[in-house]
Amino acid sequence: MIAALYTLSNGPYSNLTGVDPWDEARDARLYAGPWPVVAHPPCERWGRYWFGGPASKVRYEKGDDNLCFAFALLAVRDYGGILEHPAASAAWEYFSLNKPPRAGGWVSADEFGGWTCCVDQGHYGHKAQKATWLYACHTDLPELRWGKSARRVDGSLGRREIRTGTCQRMSKNQRKRTPEEFRDLLIEIASTTR
């Protein structure tokens, strides 16, 4: 059994045999084991627009995610498994995790036996490159498809769209949704927990 923490309601982890999904209604901060986890803690307060974005009328505090990342990190350390967050997440620095190289490969993340790497979800079915940092603890560390994935930009684009790629044309839900191939990879890694 694998516990999938911070999943979307009726999302890619729903109705899978051997997976216990914890959506917002279940509150993944309450997860107390015993199974390994695949964690997708909210990233909004840790990314480039942690303050709410240029047009936002409300300003937020950096890292103010109601301790979701902290609980996800503890769950991975305590029960084994894997956590994913966007590349360049400020959570890595805040929690003193070593930043992985963009080119790929697993590197030691911390003194708790954690390992980290950078991988593009575009290699695993996402429409955008979507560089992602992974943190794994007590699992096997497989070779992944390292480096930047191919850009899937089409049509006439402005400068901003070229820089941000396909993500610029996707809805928030499309950007957030974990592709099935990437989901299966994360479950496979978590299932090797020792």
Strand pairing category for 81-86 and 131-137: antiparallel
Q: Is 90 within 8 Å of 62 (Cβ atoms)?
A: yes
Dist CA 189 CA 194 (whole Å): 11
Dist CA 28 CA 38 (whole Å): 11
Nearest to 4 by CA among 187, 188, 191: 187
What average pLDDT does the segment 82-97 reach? Answer: 96
Q: Which DSSP category does 18 fall into? A: T
What average pLDDT does the segment 40-45 reach? Answer: 88
% of residues, the chain, pLDDT over 90: 61
Dist CA 102 CA 87 (whole Å): 9
Cα-Cα-Cα-Cα dihedral of 84, 89, 95, 99, to 10°?
90
Q: How far is CA 46 from the centre of its chain?
A: 12
Q: Which residue has the tokens 């901003």?
A: 160
**Confidence class of residue 148 from pLDDT cuts 50, 70 and 90?**
confident
* 13: CB partners within 8 A, 6+ apart: 4, 7, 19, 21, 38, 178, 183
Flag whether pLDDT at 165 surpasses 60. Answer: no
User: Comparing 16-30, 66-80, 91-105, 116-130, which segment has the lowest mean pLDDT?
Assistant: 116-130
Flag whether pLDDT at 156 surpasses 50. Answer: no
Q: What is the pLDDT of residue 131?
A: 87
Which position has the higher pLDDT, 45 or 137? 137
Taking CA atoms, 99 is separated from 34, 141, 143, in Å, by 28, 17, 18
What average pLDDT does the segment 92-105 reach? Answer: 96
For 100-135, what is each residue's pLDDT tens digit? Answer: 999 999 999 999 999 999 999 988 887 777 889 999
Structure-token pair, residue 126: 């996402």
**Confidence class of residue 172 from pLDDT cuts 50, 70 and 90?**
low
Quote the pTM value: 0.86
For 173-183, what is each residue's pLDDT tens digit? Answer: 555 568 899 99
Domain ranges of the chain: 2-189
Structure-token pair, residue 43: 């990233």
Cis ω before 34 (30° cut-off from 0): yes
Q: Mean pLDDT score of the chain, rounded to an integer?
A: 87
Mean pLDDT is highest, among 7-11, 95-99, 147-151, for 95-99
Q: Is 170 within 8 Å of 161 (Cβ atoms)?
A: no
Q: What is the pLDDT of residue 192?
A: 98
Dist CA 147 CA 36 (whole Å): 27
